[in-house]
Amino acid sequence: MLGQARGVAFYAMASLALWATPASAETLRITGVYPADSDGAAALNAIMVDKFTGIDGPALSSTVATRLREAQIDGESYFAILVPPFAEDAEAVLKGHAEPRYSETEYTSEREICWTEDDRGRCTERREVELDCLRVTIHLRPQMQLIAANGNELWRSDSEKQRQMSFCPEFDDAPDADPHISAMIGEFALEARHALAPVYRDDDIRIMERRRGLSGNDRNAFRDAIRLTGSNEAAACDEFARLHATNPDHPALSFNVGLCAEQRYDIDAAQAAYRHALQFEDSDDEAEAGLIRLDERMRADMQLANHHGH
Percent of the chain with pLDDT over 70: 92
Residue 120 covered by a domain: yes
Residue type, 261: A
* pLDDT, mean over the chain: 90
Distance CA 189, CA 98 (A): 12
- Looking at the fold, whether 146 and 217 belong to one and the same domain comes out as no
- Looking at the fold, whether 169 and 239 belong to one and the same domain comes out as no
CB 177 within 8 A of CB 166: no
The three-state secondary structure class of 199 is strand
- Looking at the fold, whether 170 and 228 belong to one and the same domain comes out as no
Q: What is the pLDDT of residue 273?
A: 97
pLDDT tens digit string along 110-122?
888 888 888 888 9
Percent of the chain with pLDDT over 90: 77
Q: Average pLDDT of 82-92?
A: 88
- Say which CATH number the domain at 249 has: 1.25.40
pLDDT exceeds cutoff 50 at 20:
no
Q: Average pLDDT of 288-309?
A: 97
Q: Which of 133, 158, 176 is the last residue of a domain?
A: 176
Domain that holds residue 166: 100-176
CB 157 within 8 A of CB 191: yes
Q: Within 13 A of 48's CA, how many CA atoms are on the CB side?
A: 16
Query: What total of structural domains would you count in the chain?
Result: 2
Residue 70 covered by a domain: no
Q: Average pLDDT of 91-106?
A: 97
Residue 226 covered by a domain: yes
Residue 286 covered by a domain: yes
Three-class DSSP labels, 70-130? HCEECCEECCEEECHHHHHHCCEEEEEECCEEEEEEEEEEEEEEEEEECCCCCEEEEEEEE
- Looking at the fold, whether 154 and 217 belong to one and the same domain comes out as no
- Assign 310 a pLDDT band (cuts: 50, 70, 90): low
pLDDT tens digit string along 247-281?
999 999 999 999 999 999 999 999 999 999 999 88
Residue 189 covered by a domain: no
At 222, phi and psi to the nearest 5? -65, -40
Q: Average pLDDT of 186-214?
A: 96
- Looking at the fold, whether 164 and 225 belong to one and the same domain comes out as no
Q: Which region among 23-37, 143-157, 284-298 has the lowest average model confidence (pLDDT)?
A: 23-37
Segment holding 158, helix H or strand E: none
CB 93 within 8 A of CB 100: no
Residue 147 covered by a domain: yes
The residues near 64 (Cβ < 8 Å, ≥ 6 apart) are: 49, 94, 96, 144, 188, 189, 192, 193
pLDDT tens digit string along 151-182?
999 999 989 999 999 999 988 899 999 999 99
Q: What is the pLDDT of residue 23?
A: 41
- Assign 25 a pLDDT band (cuts: 50, 70, 90): low
- Looking at the fold, whether 112 and 169 belong to one and the same domain comes out as yes
- Looking at the fold, whether 222 and 304 belong to one and the same domain comes out as yes
pLDDT exceeds cutoff 90 at 14:
no
pLDDT exceeds cutoff 60 at 143:
yes
Q: What is the pLDDT of residue 204?
A: 96
Distance CA 165, CA 304 (A): 43
pLDDT exceeds cutoff 50 at 3:
no
pLDDT tens digit string along 32-60?
999 999 999 999 999 999 999 999 999 99
Residue 66 covered by a domain: no
Residue 50 covered by a domain: no
Q: What is the pLDDT of residue 96?
A: 97
- Looking at the fold, whether 232 and 302 belong to one and the same domain comes out as yes
- Looking at the fold, whether 301 and 213 belong to one and the same domain comes out as yes
- Looking at the fold, whether 222 and 301 belong to one and the same domain comes out as yes
- Assign 90 a pLDDT band (cuts: 50, 70, 90): very high
Q: What is the pLDDT of residue 279?
A: 92
